[in-house]
Amino acid sequence: MRVETLELEGQLIARNHVPKSRQLVSTSDGLLQRRRLKMDGSPESVPFYPHEFVQRQSSIGVTDTSALVLENLASEDLDPIRCIRIRNAIKNYGGDQSLPPLADDELDGDLGLTTTVEGPLLLGNDMQLRQHLSPHGLAFQVLHGADVLINEF
């Protein structure tokens, strides 16, 4: 925090500069609030609930939601054809060349795909996405410029 002294109408006042925090901050009583704009454009403070924490941390770059741990995900749950595509991308785009020769389960493990949300996102099919990410909405779109070619929900 930085304090600056200003004079306003003959009176000295303190102007406080508080930098934006990259962590959640609460009052000494444990109250967490967040700012938002009302319909008329004026600001207000509203309660900040625990289920909103991950989204906020993700939006400021503190948390990568694709790195969140998933329980009960095995290499067999991931599509082997998509593993081949990952191997080809590693070979063709200058990735770590020690990865393509690995067995599927070793590759998935080294990339953290069998323990995180990233696994089904990169290597899962519809069934695996629905099974392991069921509380989330799933959508698939193919765009050509501004034209929507495929729009599945």
Q: Is 73 a residue whose pLDDT tops 90? A: no
Rounded mean pLDDT of 39-53? 90
CB-CB neighbours of 75 under 10 Å? 18
Sorting pLDDT into bands at 50, 70 and 90, what band is 68?
confident
Give per-residue pLDDT as tens, 114-139: 888 888 888 887 788 788 777 666 67
pTM over 0.75: no
Residue of 34, 66, 29 whose CA lies nearest to 53 = 34
Q: Is 54 a residue whose pLDDT tops 90? A: no
